[in-house]
């Protein structure tokens, strides 16, 4: 006899759409507060724009305008100059969750799940009751298509409220406008401005314009016109494949034999590796993959670890690079020191990844606060859940005292420092669907620690050198205060001219002494010599700049010359051994005594000012 209770329960059981699920669990996607909902929406739209532009080899130009609408709502308008979206795809891209082109692609990209912007559309209609407005154009000769859309949460399908052609002055691109319950905050680490600032640092090829609700305009200019090297799609790597995934691949492959299945379904399995895998597993190379049992699949999986297989290719990744991280930090922060590094690619669970780190010190950064951590995954800033992220854990695990920073309580260090960490991977292991933190994968944490230690060593060398130069500066100040008084008193006693004390200062300090002497040639001109002596204990390599408003005659050695209007920059590349001297000489056809006295100072390029006496010095 059938249980009547079971029959009643069966009547109430039905499937739910993914849109219905996220309608009731929107906090999972990052829509759990008014400020965060706005940041999540902007983040998803900007990520899509950057990905689309880079895939089409277009330098991104993104415009973001946020307006207040009523008491609790804001209107968000985002425009880009990307390739646009074909008419038939517009409703699905914006009004169907889990619809996208990157989920199955094994390569680095910002968006992969197909949830982001459609989740913002869902949140918009839930909180404001308004539909989303989209304009998209794929070419200057093509029409601009205008849609007004909503999501049918019961079916997870788009509802088209308007579909028409409109005039739009952009040659190509996409514009989205939505209203939602959200709030715009300023002056916080977790704000739209800080998110865009962080985005601009790791995407220095993008130009981003923000118009805030009060009408204030913020511009984040691009620091380079060079697009990132595009990431290429790769096949899955056999290391890290799980049994169920392998069985699915075997069941649905188009290959009829095991040998070609291995060759064409995985990366880095060539002819020899495929034969060795079959031999190690005891399986026939002609075995039909579709007929393989669970035990045979297990043997095949175990053989992957027995055969030496090359690491997966890294052209599926597009790291920022040390130079551009440096430029990004330099553009957005006024600091005294920057060091960057990009690690070689590593692998976790068959997924290649690269860790990049930048560290900035001093300048206008706060001295007594904890260091500022900037976390990124595939060029996207991570603003929330800092404490639950492997990047933070990696920073906390470093013994910062040995690198010159205080670390009270053994947690985050304290000092005027920004630490930027970027994890690039084909599959970033986020801790949740909101993509706010990277999971504690041991391989990733190890690489983060190694990268941080590398830049921390450079910072420590800078701090030690800075302290040494500070002590030298203090010593030189004392000497230059005492010696002039002694020289003046001695000259007065002996009734002689006050001597030049620079040679004495240079000798006491162990500096490079630079002395320019100009003497009349008796014909209205002058013979000039620049005499350099190295009192330090090591060889000094540097450039001498003499910036003059006239042309030189018979310069020895011959300088490089840069013309600057009516002036000339004469440059000599020199190298002077410890205790040695060198002389640069030239003549000037017209130079009187007044002109000799008014010559601009000689400049030494390549040395700290504390190491040079008698001339101006610039490090670079």
Domains of the chain and any CATH numbers: 18-220 (3.30.565.10), 243-306 (1.10.8.50), 322-464 (3.30.230.10), 502-618 (2.60.40.2960)
Report the alpha-carbon distance of residue 572 to residue 503 in Å, rounded.
Answer: 22
Instruction: Please give the DSSP secondary-structure letter assigned to residue 239.
Output: T
DSSP H helical segments within 171-242, as ranges? 192-202
Place of tokens 């969750």: 97
pLDDT score for 101? 47
Query: Six-digit token pair at 317?
Result: 């990744």
Measure the CA–CA gap between 120 and 150, rounded to whole angstroms: 11
Report the distance separating Cα 104 and Cα 92, nearest Å. 17
Q: What is the predicted pLDDT for the residue at 25?
A: 59
CA distances from 232 to 55, 60, 106, 363, 573 (A): 10, 20, 8, 39, 44
pLDDT number for residue 13: 56
Helix (H) or strand (E) holding 258: helix 258-265
If residue 564 lies in a helix (H) or strand (E), which one and from where to where? strand 560-564
Between CA 503 and CA 513 the distance in angstroms is 7
How far apart are alpha carbons 230 and 105 in whole angstroms? 14
Residue 417 backbone phi and psi in degrees, to 5: -135, 140
- Whether this prediction's pTM lies above 0.85 is answered by no
Task: Output the furthest CA–CA distance in the chain (Å, rounded).
Answer: 130
Residue where the block lists tokens 């007929």? 291
In this prediction, residue 296 carries a pLDDT of: 92
DSSP 168-189: -S-SSEEEEEEEEE-----SSS
How far CA 284 is from CA of 103, 433, 437, in Å, comes to: 33, 42, 44
DSSP string of 361-407, one letter each residue: ESTTS-SSSBPEEEEEETTEEE-S-GGGSHHHHHHHTS-GGGGT-B-
Give 10-residue mean pLDDT values along the chain (620 residues): 64 55 60 82 87 88 91 90 89 72 55 64 84 91 90 82 91 92 81 89 91 91 85 79 86 90 88 91 91 92 88 81 90 90 85 92 85 90 88 93 87 91 90 84 93 94 79 70 75 75 80 90 87 92 91 90 87 94 90 78 89 84
**How far is the C-alpha of 175 from the C-alpha of 81, rounded, in Å?**
9
- 557 cis-preceded (ω within 30 degrees of 0): yes
In the prediction, which pLDDT does 24 show? 58
- Asked if residue 403 lies in contact with residue 456, where contact means CB atoms within 8 angstroms, the answer is yes
Geometric angle at alpha carbon 353, from 233 and 421, rounded to 5°:
130
Q: How many CA atoms lie within 13 A of 180 on its CB side?
A: 30
pLDDT recorded at residue 76: 92
Q: Compute the residue count for the chain.
A: 620
What is the model's pLDDT at position 61?
A: 94
């Amino acid at each position: 006899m059938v249980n009547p209770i079971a029959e009643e329960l069966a009547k109430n059981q039905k499937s739910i759409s993914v849109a219905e699920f996220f309608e009731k669990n929107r906090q999972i996607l990052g829509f759990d507060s008014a400020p965060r909902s706005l940041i999540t929406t902007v983040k998803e739209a900007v990520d899509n724009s950057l990905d689309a532009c880079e895939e089409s080899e277009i330098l991104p130009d993104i415009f973001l305008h946020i307006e207040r609408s009523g008491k609790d709502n804001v209107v968000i308008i985002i425009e880009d100059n990307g390739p646009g979206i074909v008419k038939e795809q517009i409703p699905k891209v914006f009004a169907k969750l889990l619809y996208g082109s990157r989920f199955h692609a094994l390569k680095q990209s910002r968006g992969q799940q197909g949830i982001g912007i459609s989740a913002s559309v869902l949140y918009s209609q839930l909180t404001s009751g308004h539909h989303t407005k989209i304009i998209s154009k794929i070419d200057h000769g093509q029409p601009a298509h205008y849609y007004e859309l909503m999501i049918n949460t019961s079916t997870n399908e788009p509802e088209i409220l308007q579909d028409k052609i409109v005039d739009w002055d952009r040659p190509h691109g996409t514009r989205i406008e939505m209203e939602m319950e959200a709030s715009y905050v300023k002056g916080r680490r977790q704000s739209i401005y800080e998110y865009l600032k962080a985005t601009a640092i790791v995407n220095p090829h993008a130009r981003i314009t923000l118009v805030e609700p009060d009408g204030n305009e913020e511009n984040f200019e691009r620091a380079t016109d060079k697009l990132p090297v595009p990431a290429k799609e790769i096949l899955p790597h056999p290391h890290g494949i799980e049994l169920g995934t392998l069985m699915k691949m075997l069941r649905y492959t188009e290959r009829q034999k095991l040998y070609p299945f291995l060759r064409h379904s995985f990366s880095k399995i060539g002819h020899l590796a495929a034969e060795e895998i079959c031999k190690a597993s005891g399986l026939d190379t002609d075995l039909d993959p579709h007929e393989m049992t669970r035990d045979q699949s297990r043997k095949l999986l175990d053989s992957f670890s027995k055969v030496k297989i090359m690491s997966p290719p890294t052209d599926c990744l597009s790291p920022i690079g040390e130079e551009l991280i440096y430029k990004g930090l330099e553009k957005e922060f006024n600091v005294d020191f920057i060091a960057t590094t990009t690690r070689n690619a590593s692998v976790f669970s068959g997924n290649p990844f690269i860790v990049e780190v930048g560290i900035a010190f001093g300048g206008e950064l706060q001295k007594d606060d904890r260091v500022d951590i900037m976390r990124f995954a595939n060029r996207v800033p991570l603003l929330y859940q800092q404490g639950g992220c492997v990047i933070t854990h990696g920073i906390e695990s470093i013994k910062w005292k040995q690198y010159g920073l205080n670390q009270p309580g053994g947690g985050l260090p304290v000092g005027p420092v920004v630490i930027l960490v970027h994890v690039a991977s084909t599959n970033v292991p986020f801790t949740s669907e909101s993509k706010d933190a990277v999971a504690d994968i041991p391989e990733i944490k190890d690489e983060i620690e190694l990268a941080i230690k590398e830049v921390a060593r450079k910072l420590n060398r800078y701090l030690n050198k800075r302290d040494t130069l500070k002590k030298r500066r203090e010593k030189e100040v004392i000497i230059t205060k005492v010696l002039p008084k002694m020289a003046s008193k001695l000259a007065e006693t002996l009734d002689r001219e006050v001597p030049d004390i620079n040679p004495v200062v240079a000798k006491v300090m162990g500096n490079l002494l630079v002395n320019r002497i100009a003497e009349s040639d008796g014909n209205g001109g002058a013979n000039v010599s620049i005499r350099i002596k190295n009192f330090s204990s090591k060889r000094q390599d540097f450039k001498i700049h003499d910036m003059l408003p006239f042309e030189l005659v018979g310069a020895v050695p011959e300088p490089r010359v840069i013309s600057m209007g009516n002036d000339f920059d004469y440059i000599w590349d020199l190298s002077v051994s410890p205790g040695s001297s060198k002389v640069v000489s030239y003549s000037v056809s017209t130079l009187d005594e007044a002109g000799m006295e008014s010559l601009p100072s000689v400049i030494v390029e390549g040395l700290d000012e504390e190491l040079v006496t008698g001339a101006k010095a610039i490090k670079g």
